[in-house]
Amino acid sequence: MTEQMTEHRIGTRKEWLAAREQLLVREKEHTRLGDELARQRRKLPWVRVEKEYRFETDDGEKPLVELFDGRSQLLVYHFMFGPSYEAGCPTCSSMADGIDGLLPHLHARDVTFAFVSQAPLEKLQAYKRRMGWTIPWVSTARTDFNFDLGFSSSEGQTREWVEPMAEQLPPIAAHNANSTRTDLVGYLTELFGFSTFVRDDHTVYHTYSTTGRGVEFLMGYYSILDHAPKGRAEGEDWQVWIRRHDEYESE
């Protein structure tokens, strides 16, 4: 007889079915709550974008309205790739892997998805080629777009809050700063986030933004791991395990 090594509770099939039925009630509640939150999200007031932002794109300089690419909705991920970075944030990169293949389905629903970053366009293009992505990626280096939405700050502003609390930051901050080949201050001039816009002819409205755990819906692997027997299993090393998709086998 094989010795039982697991510390997890072991039950009969009957006990499992009873516990599964109880959990299913909670899962359905969770789904309905998610539907209600989505309705409330869509009811947020729209804010007209008054400033004339111009972005550097693969096809030359374009205003915000042209990033919609003829569709009425624009979803933007604020990808952490600052001016001092030599590579994109690995956590943001892990999200991009899951988004890239969804583009045809989003386009079919009148939605354009794009990345925006503060780094020069040439750096973004080189990194995009390395990662093999097709998603549109534009540089905000010559606009206040990321600053106005609260996803970028100057090095001076960042240093003011980073240096006093550097030792209190989670390990992922230093880890990703090293992975992007910049220092902690340079890395944290950028903040990840997600913003949405809608177009009515040539008028653009900002409709929603989120950051923090609010962007986990873009991290497809998390929802899958949440259904795995051992879950995310991150412990104190939150997200430190995440690598760019071409780096896992090199370790």
Q: Using one digit for the tens of pLDDT, what is the confidence trace for 153-167? A: 999 999 999 999 988
Strand segments (E) across the chain: 47-48, 54-57, 60-63, 73-78, 111-117, 137-139, 193-200, 203-210
Please state the domain extents for the chain: 47-236
Question: 139 by DSSP, 3-state: which?
Answer: strand
Token readout for 78 is: 């604020």
Token readout for 245 is: 């998709």
Q: Which of 113-127, 193-207, 220-234 has the lowest mean pLDDT?
A: 220-234
Determine the Cα–Cα distance for residues 95 and 126; give it in Å rounded to an integer.
18
pLDDT grade, residue 51 (50/70/90)? very high
Q: What length is written for the chain?
A: 251
Mean pLDDT of all residues in 234-244: 87
* Element of type H or E holding 1: none
Mean pLDDT of all residues in 62-76: 97
Whether the full predicted model's pTM is greater than 0.75, yes or no, is: yes
Select from 240, 56, 231, 47 the least CA-distant residue to 148: 47
Q: Using one digit for the tens of pLDDT, what is the confidence trace for 13-42? A: 999 999 999 999 999 999 999 999 999 999
Determine the Cα–Cα distance for residues 138 and 119; give it in Å rounded to an integer.
9
Cβ within 8 Å of residue 41, ≥6 positions away: 208
Q: Using one digit for the tens of pLDDT, what is the confidence trace for 77-107? A: 999 999 999 999 999 999 999 999 999 999 9
Say whether pLDDT at 5 is over 90: no
The CATH class given to the 47-236 domain equals: alpha beta
Contact between 53 and 144 (Cβ < 8 Å): yes
Burial of 201 (0-12, 13-18, 19+ CB in 10 A): exposed
